[in-house]
Amino acid sequence: MVSRTEQIPDWHADLARALRDEAHVLEQLQDAMASQRAAVAANDNAELETSVRAIGRTVRTLEEARKRRAAVVRYLTGHDDLALSQLEYFLGEPLPLDLDTARGQVRLAAQSVAREAAVNRVVLRRARDANDTFLQELFSAVARADMVYGPAEGKDDSKTPGVLLNRKA
């Protein structure tokens, strides 16, 4: 029997809170990815480094948020890797409105992050390719340093042996 001072955990509310927190972290990740793309476009190395660190921190926070959600889902359903779309089936009842809304927030935030990641992959690949092309042109110009003097200048391409001069006059 539960005494009046003891509170029964509301696992549905805990799961809704965990999902809202996860959605919030996903939104932070989306913002960090947008900052990264802006830094690449502006060729701002300091801001790019800051955005990379922010993405790393946010991904670690997201991992913790997912562990928290998984723990609550495991308690409610007994399954470790249950997809959020299967919650009603395993709970045996429709989800409360706040839980269903939080689940929708996570889904939308995850889709937005996936789009941002796809755009950033393209932007970063193009930036890397442009950098590679620039470096190839730069170093190929250095390798052709003899071209500054023009073709055949400074080189003796004739196959005749050298001439020795008698210095006595």
Q: Give the domain ranges of the chain.
A: 11-145
Q: Is the dihedral of CA 97, 9, 14, 72 positive or negative?
A: negative
- The confidence band for 20, taking pLDDT boundaries of 50, 70 and 90, is very high
Range 129-132, long-range pairs (CB < 8 A, 24+ positions) = none
- The larger pLDDT score, comparing residue 3 to residue 62, is at 62
Mean per-residue pLDDT over the chain, rounded: 83
Which pLDDT belongs to residue 130? 83
At residue 119, the pLDDT reads 93
Average pLDDT over residues 44-49: 91
pLDDT at 1: 47
Given a contact cutoff of 8 angstroms between Cβ atoms, the answer to whether 112 and 89 are in contact is: no
The percentage of the chain sitting over the pLDDT mark of 70, rounded to a whole number, equals 78
Burial per residue of 57-87, b for 16 or more beta-carbon CB atoms within 10 angstroms, e otherwise: ebeebbeebeebbeebbeebeeeeebebeeb
Give the residue-averaged pLDDT of 76-105.
Answer: 89
pLDDT at res. 5: 46
At residue 62 the predicted structure's pLDDT band, cuts being 50, 70 and 90, is: very high
pLDDT digits (tens, 9 = 90+) for 108-160: 999 999 999 999 999 888 888 887 787 787 777 665 555 555 555 555 555 66
Q: What is the pLDDT of residues 92-111, one digit of tens each?
A: 888 889 999 999 999 999 99
Predicted local distance difference test score (pLDDT) of residue 25: 97
What pLDDT is stored for residue 24 in this prediction? 97
Is 48:37 a contact under the CB 8 Å cutoff?
no
